[in-house]
Chain A
């Protein structure tokens, strides 16, 4: 593996795999003004916090739509438009949030509890809302005064704060909501360091400094422009030519070359999500329907799936395919999460002999054939080939079926697969990374997996506001997941962002979102 390690050691002394979130700008070292150009790997969808479903819209929102809560470097929730963490009543059903005073929306109207209420109600009632399920069992929203909002829940729901640190917590101007309605995305108005200026579909999104922002003096740049460039090497070329100063989602293949460029630095953080392998063990009629038995040993016998996991060498995999930049993962709980524990990070070690033994105990003939559905991107194909070679030693004959991404989503939801490779970008609260995927009837439980013990642990965890108790419950959940192995967690992606050294103060936290609003050009 020496060849692969070489790519990560050039440049300055930061080692591959070591987090570098970036530092806030030094006011004495940056000048005011200038337009920052960010090369973005995919086009954001609708710029409407209620409807938005793509990760990339969060990059733009970060500059124009502040949230009740934000996430810091340690993946902890911190206040943003709220002034403190919420107070939760003893029964866990009443959540009170104190709000910032004196803030104004980009259209000059005041930010207050009525605006928060209007926003939350839109999230809960809009037919196409992508936020409804994230907000959980909200009953009513009260506004006792202009500076506080009280959320009444039907049941305790701990993941609420995590949701309010994402799009659900972005507060929209009631005036703009009234005039634009469903077309809010055409000219979004929130509280933010910048305000929306222009969008050229497929091409670019421009925002300009907002003089109404409560902390406007801390904003250095005049404007930010996101240019959509889906090809990683083109993004890298734009960075080198100076046409862009920032590029997101750098390929692990380009990492070495970019690190070697003295005019650039690479920010990196481990994501809260995961990439994994999902076995179809009961999804016959499509996701969300009652699971039915599938007459294949790998679907019926957990030993065969465990054998597959023992056949995997995660460390060698990330080293060979991703230059060691991504981190091996064995559970949905990131080590960066405050909910991580020893149980949550337990990992079955690579043991091909044990894999063969389990297969013989399961009474199947080797090599046991498995067909894997995977996206047809170059990185995925390299991963698939490495997996294929690896599990061969454990007694598996892995067949690779590459399909284009939209088809992959379709096939997985219909249950037309035996094994599939996909991932999840991750959320701050563990519940959002687990329950939907492995909980019985979960909207993304494409495996058709169901275990009442696991469901009980997850329900208890989402209804508890005690960090230690939740930590323990998620540890238990991971143990159960590893016994059943319906979803084998493989690795955690690293968010790699290349930044010109002409720019200071750009940061990327574990949620993967580029924070550019308070950056500035070096003097």
Chain B
């Protein structure tokens, strides 16, 4: 186990370093200049030079990179070129929003997807399956931004059920927070729910026709126990993998959802930073996203062994 963890940690560090290099140089290869974007209308050669100097953009790239890595190693992400606010403080504000939005979206998607998937498998060939399949198709094919706009139009503007935009921190006002975030979370979760539903359904169908389920039925277990304890538990391996893999999609989906609902999360921050060529913010966001991916993948691997003890984290056969 210890050796496994060490190897994982080493691989993770390498991945992080690689992504830092790619983003650092990649973002600077883009056309556009943060000094120009910042100078806006009031730009003069002196002003541009002063901005570049202030943010160290006039240094050779390798030196900028070395300085950046040095600062990040000490936990300093620099200052936003656009707003002059420390990036770490921007991250502290934005991170909880995206984490809450994503977690809520996953919970909703998993509850809805697993429920509908099991139902579709158990009621195979009946209206319940058709309905679940139809909804999944809609969830998969309709883009987030469109659903979001429709939701704002009908649920916020026309019905007045939810606020059209904005955010209240959870600790400040839990009820208000939920009121603001439920709609975006549902919209964000739709695609994922559809995928989970499809995967659960096919895994359940396979499990339901397997030998151990037949044995369980033959032993006279109640159908509910057969479905939940014998078929569903095996099927969940697939679901966990899918949720893990789809988290990436969820993060990119969050970019769009946050933009539409005006949520001050990572996604909105990323879009604004890219348009403004706000290098320190883009770098920090990518670094944190990469870290999140690594952690999630690791957790998914650990979860496998919890769900199915036949799988050992060492990767060696039991």
Contacts and interface: CB of A to CB of B under 8 A. Distances in A.
Chains A and B form a bound pair: yes
Question: Which of A51, A134, A243 gathers most chain B CB within 10 Å?
Answer: A243
Interface stretch (B62-70, B117-125, B164-172, B295-303): B164-172
Question: Which of B32, B93, B149 gathers most chain A CB within 10 Å?
Answer: B32
Contacts of B152: 234, 237, 241
Contacts of B262: 203, 227-229, 234, 238
Interface residues of A, number: 53
A128 B49 CA distance: 9
B38 to A, nearest CB: 6
Interface string A196-209: 00011111100000
Contacts of B167: 203
A23 B54 CA distance: 44
Contact of A406 (B37, B53, B83): B37
Interface string A394-438: 000000000111110111010000000000110000000000000
B82 to A, nearest CB: 6
A204 B41 contact: no
A237 B167 CA distance: 16
A129 B48 CA distance: 10
B21 interface: no
Contacts of A229: 165, 262
Contacts of A54: 40
B100 interface: no
Interface in B136-172: 149, 152-153, 156-157, 160, 163-167
Interface in A179-209: 183, 185-186, 199-204
Contacts of A121: none
B276 interface: yes
B84 A51 contact: yes
B54 A227 contact: no
A410 B31 contact: yes
A425 B54 CA distance: 27
Nearest to B163: A243
Contacts of B82: 43, 45
B165 A404 contact: no
B268 A202 contact: yes
B41 A237 contact: no
Question: Which of B44, B80, B260, B277 gathers most chain A CB within 10 Å?
Answer: B44
Question: Which of B50, B53, B90, B165 gathers most chain A CB within 10 Å?
Answer: B165
Contact of B44 (A186, A230, A443): A443
A229 B260 CA distance: 8
Given A53-B38, A133-B44, A127 B164 contact: no
Nearest to B47: A130
Given A201-B90, A231-B260, A237-B157, A128 B47 contact: yes
B84 A46 contact: yes
Interface string B17-43: 000000000000011110011111111
Contact of B43 (A45, A55, A233, A443): A443
Contacts of A413: 36
B156 A424 contact: no
A444 interface: yes
A350 interface: no
B85 interface: yes
A240 B43 contact: no
B78 interface: no
Interface string A299-341: 0000000000000000000000000000000000000000000
Interface in A14-57: 39, 43, 45-46, 48, 51, 53-55
Interface in A214-238: 227-231, 233-234, 237-238
B93 A200 contact: yes
Given A202-B268, A204-B264, A234 B42 contact: no
23 contacts: A48-B84, A129-B47, A129-B50, A130-B42, A133-B44, A183-B84, A186-B85, A200-B93, A200-B264, A202-B268, A203-B167, A203-B263, A227-B166, A228-B262, A233-B149, A234-B164, A237-B164, A243-B166, A406-B31, A406-B36, A409-B37, A410-B32, A444-B43
